[in-house]
Amino acid sequence: MLEIPLLDIDPVSRELRVNGALVAIGARAFDVLVHLQAHSDRVVSKQELLDTVWGGLAVEEGNLSVQISTLRKLLGAKAIATVPGVGYKLAIGSEPEHRPTQAGPPLPAKPSLAVLPFANLTGRPDRDYLIDGIVADLASSLSRVSGIFVVSTTSSFAYKGRVVSLSDVGVNLGVRYILEGSIQQAGETLRITVQLSEAESSRTIWSDRFTGTTADIFDLQDIISEKTVAAIEPSLLFEESRRARAKPTESLQAYDLTLQAAPLVLRVSSLADFRQAVEILDRALALDPDYALAKALKVRAHVMAAGSRAISHAEGAAAIPLARQLLDAHQSDPLVLAYAGHMMAYLGDEPAMGIHALETAKSLNPNSVLVRVSSGWINAYTGRYPEAIADFEHAYRINPLDPNLGHCRSGHGFCLFGLKDYEGAVSLLEKALADDPGFGTTEQALGAAYELAGRPIEAQRVIARYVKANPSNTIAYYLRTTPFREEDFRMRMAAGLRAAGVPEG
């Protein structure tokens, strides 16, 4: 059979011919194919297919998945393209929008997985952020299983709404398996349908549905994680995925608010961003004062705002007691440990405490990009540049399509500066600044790296802009507040900044 077959569909006789040969096909699969062909110029949502093919009957989305899998077996894996978070498109006669331009990362030795955005079948487009948050939490839970390699959702969610073949997703992300699904809601009842496929062949390995109330969402995530792990690798013990079990809050409203704040916290490029994030998190903490992740995100907001120069070093340090409180409570959530540990190493002047927290976080979740990036920065602060670079490179591998890798590239650039590879530092810091123009720490380091790389004109241009935006950030301020401990690093950075035009202060 050709990879892209020729189809002859006769809706009257209900016959399907593939490359001229009559093919036996079930009634539902035939109806799905007819509808996809009739609308081959656009993406057809899962809800539309369910409503049309099943005539308004109350059926599970898993029934549709079965028919799509059947059609792919008949027509070829790439005949029906997936549109993550939406539905499907008949790809015969057209190419998916997102094609790999080069070989992706190699497959890891362990089972590897990407979790694609789930389709929002709640009937409320404004709930997309909640659906994405639930799925991101599911991916995080899976990533804590030591026997599975899980690509960050920042990369896998880049496919949301795009026409792709699962095999191309597997190549681009370097994974063997794809998890996709949908979420329906009726009142307080949630129905989550999931499907695990082999990326290369688009073959469905396992599918199931899970029903519960909104109050059960954390338990549902645990159950789905266990079922997914069991389907991928039966030899993996369920207890591994249970390590991640800890219901974060009893307040679903606090959970909802925290999901809203999370994107603001990851990149704080202005004072307005910082204030909005803190205001939302304070509302969540008013509902649940013991919500550790909300506290950790507030800590993270202060770290990122200080790094971007949206607030002063002293203002950022105001969250040190909150970070210390989280660490004193012996948290087992890797993100909580990472954010609190980063605060203590950066603004708290306690790098040993930060390293200990991040080592624990990495042991709990070795596949978290955010944990790896924070670990990289803290290792860089203490002059452990090879260890830091290993963390950053692991983050790139987990998250190869992340559009927000500026913070990671910036830390990597600092490491190359520490190793006296100034041209290498310039290259990474330039990319980091393009990724995140509001991160003042990157701009500061780029100016010094230009100067020490023998590019004074570029150094003066960058530093003139930096000084204008941050007039109080003098050489004396830098030496007083920098978290980098190595004396030679500090002196070289100060010399580069001084020569490029930063006032002595």
CATH of domain 404-505: 1.25.40.10
Amino acid at 217: I
Neighbouring-strand partners of residue 88: 44, 82
User: Which residues are CB-contacts of 477 (< 8 A; sequence separation ≥ 6)?
Assistant: 313, 505
pLDDT values of the chain reduced to their tens digit, one per residue, 505 residues? 345 567 888 888 888 888 888 888 888 888 888 888 888 888 888 888 888 888 766 666 667 878 888 888 888 877 888 888 888 888 875 444 444 445 678 888 777 889 999 988 888 888 888 888 888 888 887 887 766 888 988 888 888 888 888 888 999 999 988 989 888 888 888 888 888 888 888 878 777 788 888 888 778 777 777 677 656 654 333 333 343 445 567 787 888 888 888 888 887 778 999 999 999 999 999 999 999 989 999 999 999 999 999 999 999 999 999 999 999 987 788 889 999 999 999 999 999 999 999 999 988 887 788 899 999 999 999 999 999 999 999 888 877 766 568 899 999 999 999 999 999 999 999 999 998 888 999 999 999 999 999 999 999 999 999 999 999 999 999 999 999 999 999 999 999 999 999 999 8
Sign of the Cα torsion 134, 132, 311, 480 reads: positive
Neighbouring-strand partners of residue 82: 88, 164
Output the six-digit token pair for 68.
């799509």
Q: Which of 449, 453, 472, 474 is nearest to 462 (CA)?
A: 449
Contact 225, 243 (CB under 8 A): no
For domain 112-242, give its CATH number from 3.40.50.10610, 3.90.220.20, 3.40.50.300, 3.40.50.970: 3.40.50.10610
For the chain, what are the domain ranges?
7-75, 112-242, 249-365, 404-505
- DSSP label of 127: G
- Please report which residue ranges of 121-270 form alpha helices under DSSP H: 128-143, 153-156, 166-173, 217-232, 238-242, 252-266
- Residue identified by tokens 């959702």 is 153
Neighbouring-strand partners of residue 89: 81
For domain 249-365, give its CATH number from 1.20.272.10, 2.30.30.240, 3.50.50.60, 1.25.40.10: 1.25.40.10
Q: Measured between alpha carbons, how far apart are the two ends of the chain, in Å?
A: 74
Is 194 in a helix, a strand, or coil? strand
- Strand 21-23 with 15-18, pairing: antiparallel
> Cα(300)–Cα(277) distance, rounded to whole angstroms?
10
Amino acid at 120: N
In this structure, the chain runs to a length of: 505
Domain 7-75: which topology?
Arc Repressor Mutant, subunit A (1.10.10)
User: Which residues are CB-contacts of 21 (< 8 A; sequence separation ≥ 6)?
Assistant: none
